[in-house]
Structure 1
Amino acid sequence: MFTKRLLFFALAVFAISFTSCQQEEDIATKNEVSPMTLAKIAKLGFNTQQVEQVDGGYVVEGDIFLSNADLNTSFKEMALRVGESEQYRTSNLVSAPRTISISISNQLPGSYVAALDEAINRYNAQGLELSFQRVSSKGDISLTKAPRTANYLASAGFPSGGKPYNSVKINSNYLGSNPGTNYLATIIAHEIGHCIGFRHTDYMDRSYSCGGSYYNEGASTVGAIHIPGTPTGPDANSWMLACIANGVNRPFNNNDKTALGYLY
């Protein structure tokens, strides 16, 4: 098991634009962003197109939150490439073995509990050194309702200090009371993936699942470490693709299982 632990800092959002095609797109810029700020974002290895200023920082590439502090902190570049076919993880993981508890707010519809249970079952079926368990409250990861004004399907962050990121926000205002167990389980499993250190499978080209123009983020300075045995190119149906269409079910494919098993 690969056990290197390093600090990572961003909040990733599994976003979707609420259009008729119901596919995630970059969030449009709401406020003008200064050239100095754009230069700092570029230095961190992120696309500077359609940057949105939000409370406390900026959303870049439609799904990653960078705080003001992040933009003013120097980071050592951490990238590792092994072999010819890899997937991506962050430079910080969860300490294992351990059981991660997950709770779900009663503000979310009752049907969401079944979807959370399905997502947990998908992970536990892999025989990892991480196991997951639903609890009634105060879980290591807490699923809560996203603000009514949210422009994303769900959001989560990356681990720190050997612990999973502690929050997943679900946009039930958009998803509704019963979006479908497997579809919602895919979204929740994706966000849990971020919480334990996974970046998007199509990190090297978000246009694969999101549409739009080609963009390769490159190694950057924020921790994009390839996972041996997983594709560098397009990987259809991976649970960690950046964007998802309405109603799609993405259980772990063989490459996903390889990535999970390699890390945990």
Structure 2
Amino acid sequence: MLKRSYLFYIILLITLGIGCAKNNDVKNDNTNTEKNQDNPVLARILKEGFSRNDIVEMKDRYVVQGDIIFYKQEPGQKNGPTTEQARSPYLVAPAYRNINVYLNAGSFSSVNLNSIVDNVIASYNAVGSGIHLNRVYAAGQANIEIVQNSSLQLGICGQAGFPFSNGQPFNNVFISEYTLNYYHLTSTAQLTLLVAHELGHCLGLRHTNWQSQGEGSAIPIPSTPGTDGASVMNGATCGNNWGGFSYYDQIALKALYPVTLGGPDHLNVNESLQTNQLLRSQDGRFILVMQGDGNLVIYYYNVALWSSNTTTGVPGVAVNQGDGNFVVYQNGVARWSSNTTTGVPGIVVMQNDGNLVVYQNGVARWSSNTAGY
């Protein structure tokens, strides 16, 4: 059941392990799969749209579609997994986007991934997203360890998982040397695709062909199609040859992990946004931009969440006035306002939860009601 991943988050997201199983040689044995949806991890998996028939329970984890790992308790957590976030799978948080990758070469006896890992890292970095991968040579320095694991069921080439709820990337890529040798899937092109695919899961990418895989739902990635035959993240890819990231693979990575282009996250009193100026949330996911068409818009990556509905073709300016009102002007005419004129100077903040808020003396007086991301 070769699996690829859907280029998605997040987002969630972000919510993004491989599926490199060898076509239909693997059948899921669900006889021991826990079906109690009250279990928070199982509930999360089902909420993501995966079929119950694709879930296999193991001692410390669930394995979905043969290659995607959901730990019952995330590493470092003492009180079980965090499941209250609305968006799943989770994405890699800004604090962890400089990611160290370690190849445990000593765990392999016949497969050499040394140059392959270097090439995959270089390919990810060449995309130009906000994610940067580094090769390290000590396990203690690693965020992600690539390690041989021949205990995987025959037919499963590799496994990985989605980012953890604390924003760290999934910490392991498991490669089955036994399966690779059994099916003679050891060419450089085949192994490169396998490693790239599994690392994609660690960064939060679902199988691009999730719909044809029978998954009930997924969080789509903006500006990418429902299908992409060239995607590295399609399921059923074990044994396929690496041809580089597809155009939409690259769009997906840059949509999920945009390069922070700067911009403050707030406007102080009497400050303004001129045409094409913006506020950016501290985590880089949300921007408020004063567009050239006169519209003031909040974007989540490149999805519009809210606007002032002032598209007239006339450039405007958004002003945080000294009387506490936040106003969009075009040619000196007020076209929209937050209606927060109290005489108390305020601050306008683009928050990490997606909400744009006008605060006066620490009290929220107006918001865009776009929180929850």
TM-score, with normalisation over the residues of structure 2?
Answer: 0.53
Quote the residue 1:92 is aligned against.
91
**Deviation digits for residues 171-199 of structure 1 (CA, Å, limit 9, x no counterpart):** 11221398122221111111111111111
Aligned partner of 1:163 among 163, 168, 173: 168
Superimposed CA distance per residue, residues 47-67 of structure 1 (whole angstroms, 9 cap, x where no aligned partner): 122543322344333333445
**Deviation (angstroms), 1:32:** 4.5
1:254 aligns with 2:247: yes
**For residues 174 and 62 of structure 1, do their structure 2 counterparts lie closer, same or farther at Cα, with a shift above 3 Å needed?**
closer
8 Å contact 1:95–1:163 — kept in the other structure?
Answer: no
- In 2, are the aligned partners of 1:200 and 1:242 still within 8 Å (CA)? yes
Alpha-carbon distance in 2 for matches of 1:143, 1:260: 21
Greater C-alpha radius of gyration: 2
Code of the aligned partner of 2:136: V
Q: 2:148 aligns with which of 145, 159, 175?
A: 145
What does 1:231-250 align with in structure 2 at a 5 Å threshold?
231-232=225-226, 234-250=227-243
Secondary structure at the counterpart of residue 221 of structure 2: strand
The superposition leaves residues 132-163 of structure 1 with CA deviations (integer Å, 9 ceiling, x where unpaired) of 22111222211111134534211111112232
Structure with more strand by fraction: 2
Corresponding position of 1:132? 133
Deviation of 1:97 (Å): 7.9
Q: Does 1:204 align with 2:207?
A: no
How far apart, CA to CA, are the structure 2 residues paired with 1:179 and 1:229?
34
- Give TM-score scaled by structure 1 length: 0.72
Are the aligned partners of 2:90 and 2:163 in contact in 1 as well (CA < 8 Å)? no
Residue in structure 2 matched with residue 122 of structure 1 by the alignment: 123
- Structure 2 vs 1, CA of residues 229 and 184 (structure 1 numbering), >3 Å: closer, same or farther? same
Distance 2:86 2:205 in 1: 17
3-state SS of 2:250 partner: helix
Q: Distance in 2 between matches of 1:194 and 1:173?
A: 22
Residues matched between the structures, number: 232
CA distance in 2, matches of 1:248, 1:166: 25
Report the CA distance between 1:114 and its aligned residue: 1.3
Structure 2: which amino acid aligns with 1:203?
Answer: W
1:64 match: 68
Deviations 1:78-99 (A, max 9, x none): 38xxxxxxxxxx3322426843
State the superposition RMSD in angstroms.
3.5
Query: Given residue 154 of structure 1, which amino acid in structure 2 is its aligned partner?
Result: G
Call closer, same or farther: CA 1:29–1:114 in 2, change over 3 Å: same
CA distance in 2, matches of 1:50, 1:131: 32
Contact map agreement 2:26 2:153 (CA 8 A) in 1: no
1:78 corresponds in structure 2 to: 87
- Tell me, in whole angstroms, the C-alpha distance in 1 between the residues paired with 2:221 and 2:204: 12
Question: Higher RCO, 1 or 2 (CA under 8 Å, sep at least 6)?
Answer: 1
Q: What residue identity is the alignment partner of 2:65?
A: E
Q: Find the aligned partners of 1:178 and 1:98 in 2 and give their Cα distance.
A: 31
The one of 179, 187, 191 equivalent to 1:184 is 191
Residue ranges of structure 2 left out of the alignment (5+ in a row)? 1-8, 75-79, 258-373
Letter in 1 for 2:119: E
Determine the C-alpha separation between the residues in 1 that align with 2:158 and 2:115: 17
Whole-angstrom CA distance in 1 between matches of 2:221 and 2:54: 29
Aligned to 2:107: 107
Distance 2:191 2:200 in 1: 14
Cα separation, partners in 2 of 1:24 and 1:258, compared to 1, 3 Å: farther
Amino acid at match of 1:163: Q
Deviates more, 1:171-180 or 1:125-134: 171-180
